[in-house]
Amino acid sequence: MEKSQVKWLYISVGFSLLVLIIILYFTINENTVQYLKEINPFFLLLAFLTHLLTMCFWALRVKKMSGSLGYPIGFVYSLNLVFANLLASAITPAQAGGEPVRVHELYRANVPLGDATAVVIMERVLDGIALAALAAFAMVVLTEQWKSLGAISEAMVFITWIFVVGCLFLFYLAVRRPDVVKRIVNKIARFFTRTWENAKIEKFVKRADVEIDNFNTAVIKFVKSAKGGLLWGMLFTLLYWVSEIVTASLILLGLGQPPLFLESFVIQLILAILMMIPLTPGSSGIAEVGATSMYALFIPASIVGIFVVIWRIVLYYFNIALGILSSLIIVRREAKYRK
């Protein structure tokens, strides 16, 4: 890892640990020990295994989508690609750092740069569509679970609806009218960067135009010649998110608490959307505080802090460990490649 990446990893992990320590300080009491005696290691182990299964669904998505464009990639290679992506995601806001890693690894697997970029962009598109569909399902079918969140639910319903409608509308515009999207992005970019130098603003706008063109090209490529890849991609994307959401319920069972499958579905969906907002590296702090505030409505305060710690260990710190292991494998491969 480069020095700048190591620095951001320290910042991300450090901020997350600080928030977790504060949460534990305010939630641990004399009843916590009693709750800890009810821990079931089987379900905690199952939570880790389910998270690994989630990564396998992601790897299968990459494999099938690349294969649909005519580039066969092995499952093990795809899985290592996903693990490498996890480390970069942990140190960048909205997990954006993972995309360049996936593009690079696909390129190393003899996928042309344009097609590798198309695969990675369509992954993001499918994630947006899947989350929008799951959010719409949750708001229509799980109304009682939304209401059970109290005042939080009103703001979250509003944010989620904006997310759902916004994703679908932007997807439509980017495919049908990329020129309109470019003009909108141009105006927004110039508004928020009006204090920058003109040359820097122009460079930023041109970069945005290139990304919009890449997105449009990726959609056309898959729609015209790789519809099967989109279908497989959508299937594994849905399995990915459902598996990721179920992991929290398994941790609750491991702590001797009710699984709260429906409530957890809504909460994890809200957290997934919040964690896509580029505010902190790896969404450190946002995930911990968000999970604590919502799960505290359903499980005893004495155990909620422990739950959030284990949840972050499974879905964040475990990711970093997998990412470091994968990075070492890639470094060895690159060393051999240069020789």
Indicate whether 293 pLDDT > 80.
yes
So what's the pLDDT on residue 317? 94
Entry pTM: 0.85
The mean pLDDT of 278-297, rounded to a whole number, is: 82
The mean pLDDT value for 157-165 works out to: 68
Count of C-beta atoms within a 10 Å radius of residue 17: 15
CB atoms within 10 A of CB 46: 18
User: In whole angstroms, what separates CA 333 from the centre of its chain?
Assistant: 27
Average pLDDT over residues 236-253: 94
pLDDT score of 194? 66
Amino acid at 101: V
Question: Is 60 exceeded by the pLDDT of residue 94?
Answer: no
Tokens 């806001």 belong to residue: 93
Burial class (CB in 10 A: 0-12, 13-18, 19+), 34: exposed
| Cα 301 versus chain centre, distance | 27
pLDDT of 152 reads 60
pLDDT of residue 199: 72
Q: Please name the residue that has the structure tokens 């598109």.
A: 125
pLDDT given for residue 136 in this prediction: 75
Give the pLDDT mean for 9-15. Answer: 84
Residue written as tokens 């977790």? 20
pLDDT at 96: 58
Can you tell me whether residue 150 is helix, strand or coil? coil
Domain extent at residue 238 = 3-338
For residue 93, report the phi and psi dihedrals to the nearest 5 degrees.
-60, 140
Q: How many domains does the chain have?
A: 1
pLDDT band at 333 (very low <50, low <70, confident <90, very high): confident
Whether pLDDT at 164 is above 70:
no
> What band does 278 get if pLDDT is binned at 50, 70 and 90?
low
CA 39 to chain CA centroid, Å, is 28
Q: What is the CA radius of gyration of the chain?
A: 21
Kind and range of the H or E run holding 281: none
Query: Could you give phi then psi for residue 281, rounded to 5 degrees?
Result: -60, 125
Residue 147: the pLDDT is 67
Residue among 155, 62, 57, 71 nearest 110 (CA): 71
Q: Alpha helices, DSSP H only, in the chain?
A: 3-27, 32-36, 41-68, 75-90, 98-108, 113-141, 143-147, 151-176, 178-192, 198-225, 227-254, 261-274, 286-295, 301-312, 318-338
Residue 52, burial from CB neighbour count under 10 angstroms (0-12, 13-18, 19+): middle
